[in-house]
Amino acid sequence: MINFKSSHGILTINLQALADNYNLFKKQTGSNDAVAGVVKANAYGLGLKKVTDKLKELNCPQFFVATLDEAIELRSYNNQTPIAVVNGLMNGVEKEYLEHNILPVLNTPDDIQRWQNIAHKKNEKLPSIIHFDTGMNRLGLSAAETDTLVEDIKTIDGLDVQIIMSHFACADEKDHPLTQQQADTFAELAKHFPHAKKSLANSPGLYRDQAYHYDIVRPGYALYGGNPTPELDNPMNSVVTLSTRILQIRECKKGESIGYGASHKFEKDTRTATIALGYADGFLRSNSGSAIVYYNGQPCPVLGRVSMDLVTVDLSNIKENPPKQNDSIEILGSNQTIDALAETAGTIGYEILTSLGHRYKREYI
């Protein structure tokens, strides 16, 4: 039984499990320096400093974040590891990249031009990553822009292109035809950059084909325990557990309703628990009437709508040792993975992680 010292739930983050996952990627790639750490969005909600400190211990050679602000924060406690900003070279703040020794991922001709201009002014080659779009249609040079670039490669004479990268759109779906198509496109353009490291595979890509590994793999979700290959058992170690407490036990009567909108009506007398958890904690409101939480390993379905700070659950399944006020309820843990909770919420485990709220007491083990 958890001893609650906080007034709300407890989120446990297992840094050893995270390290074990990282070491699995090393084994998978057969390399000690090919596994980058994708730590954008506060390390998928799990704490940028704690996660990157652990990855630094494991000699992680490269970090990827989404925004310049994240990069500057990470640089404030890590002055060694290269840090790349995947959302690009933000306009108007280019000198911050130089000042904090941060690698821009150049996504557009405009990104390239602005970085080149600075290189020319400084009269030195500037470290950079170029992102080529191979079918995601989100960020990176388009096919046409790529053609223009490789036809006249001296237009990037101011750049020290350290890495070229692309990103899979559908690698989580086994045998999706777009994946191999993207890989083929990437293989072609890689020929034009013999001196740059190549990076293509995200978490699922890493598990789909050794040929996708190249020099740097970029696992994010799998590092944090998510299943990179949904059609198979999860090869990763679970990193997070989440528990909260029961605030009240209630005996609801047949014919009564529960929660906002009175959306759930009781067809029989039902014992319920109201627990300290809500959508303000990132327990998505789309869990209303669908998610399951666990009491001593026994499933308790969510009844009615998820409130901002509260959730009501059905205790009918629990025949022996009925729960009491203040007892612990498991949201994520041995009975429920992030992937499983995502399914009842109608989303993906990535959003479960990045939504994890700030009222939980965070404990690192």
Interface positions, 54-93, toward its own copies (CB under 8 A): 66-70, 85-88, 90-93
Nearer to its own copies, 29 or 217 (CB): 217
Nearer to its own copies, 69 or 188 (CB): 69
Query: Which range of residues in 190-198, 208-216, 229-237, 269-277 is near its own copies by CB under 8 A?
Result: 269-277
Q: Is 138 in the site for its own copies (CB under 8 A)?
A: yes
**55 closest CA partner among 304, 224, 206:** 224
Work out which of 2, 31, 49, 108 binds its own copies, going by CB under 8 A: 108
Query: Which range of residues in 76-84, 122-130, 188-196, 277-285 is near its own copies by CB under 8 A?
Result: 277-285
Q: Is 32 in the site for its own copies (CB under 8 A)?
A: no
Measure the CA–CA gap between 39 and 42, rounded to whole angstroms: 6
Site track 226-265 with its own copies (rule: CB under 8 A), x = hit: -------------------x-xxxxxx---xxxxxxx---
Give one DSSP letter per residue of 202-248, joined into a string. -HHHHHH-GGG-SSBB---GGGGT--SSTTS---SPP-EEEEEEEEE
Which tokens in the block code for residue 282? Answer: 């990132």
CB of 169 to its own copies, least distance (A): 5
Q: Is 312 in the site for its own copies (CB under 8 A)?
A: yes
Does the active-site annotation cover 198? no
Q: Is 169 in the site for its own copies (CB under 8 A)?
A: yes
Does the active-site annotation cover 279? no
Please, which of residues 183-222 interact with its own copies by CB under 8 A? none
Work out which of 1, 5, 27, 121 binds its own copies, going by CB under 8 A: 5
Show the CA angle centred on residue 230, arms to residues 175 and 314, nearest 5°.
150
* Residue 122: φ, ψ to 5°: -80, -15
Nearer to its own copies, 5 or 154 (CB): 5
Residues 272, 264 contacting (CB under 8 angstroms): no
Query: Which range of residues in 4-12, 16-24, 150-158, 332-340 is near its own copies by CB under 8 A?
Result: 4-12
Nearer to its own copies, 215 or 304 (CB): 304
Q: Is 107 in the site for its own copies (CB under 8 A)?
A: yes
Residues 122, 142 contacting (CB under 8 angstroms): no
Q: Is 129 in the site for its own copies (CB under 8 A)?
A: no
Total residues at the site for its own copies (CB under 8 A)? 81
CB of 200 to its own copies, least distance (A): 16
**132 closest CA partner among 182, 94, 92:** 182
CA 334 to chain centre: 20
Measure the CA–CA gap between 100 and 72, rounded to whole angstroms: 7
Work out which of 47, 278, 323, 349 binds its own copies, going by CB under 8 A: 278
Q: Which of 22, 40, 224, 279 is catalytic?
A: 40
Measure the CA–CA gap between 363 and 50, rounded to whole angstroms: 11
Q: Which of 122, 260, 265, 361 is catalytic?
A: 260
Question: How many other C-beta atoms lie within 10 A of the C-beta of residue 122?
Answer: 11
Measure the CA–CA gap between 167 and 56, rounded to whole angstroms: 24
Which tokens in the block code for residue 359? Answer: 């009222």
The single-letter code of the amino acid at 229 is T
Q: Is 285 in the site for its own copies (CB under 8 A)?
A: yes
Please, which of residues 109-128 interact with its own copies by CB under 8 A? 110
Collapsing DSSP to helix, strand or coil, 112 comes out as helix
Nearer to its own copies, 230 or 299 (CB): 230
Measure the CA–CA gap between 93 and 264, rounded to whole angstroms: 52
Work out which of 52, 199, 307, 336 binds its own copies, going by CB under 8 A: 307
Measure the CA–CA gap between 192 and 185, rounded to whole angstroms: 12
**13 closest CA partner among 238, 172, 197, 165:** 238
Residue for token pair 């319920």: 272
Nearer to its own copies, 211 or 262 (CB): 262
Please, which of residues 327-356 interact with its own copies by CB under 8 A? 346-348, 350-351, 354-355
* Residues annotated as part of the active site: 40, 260
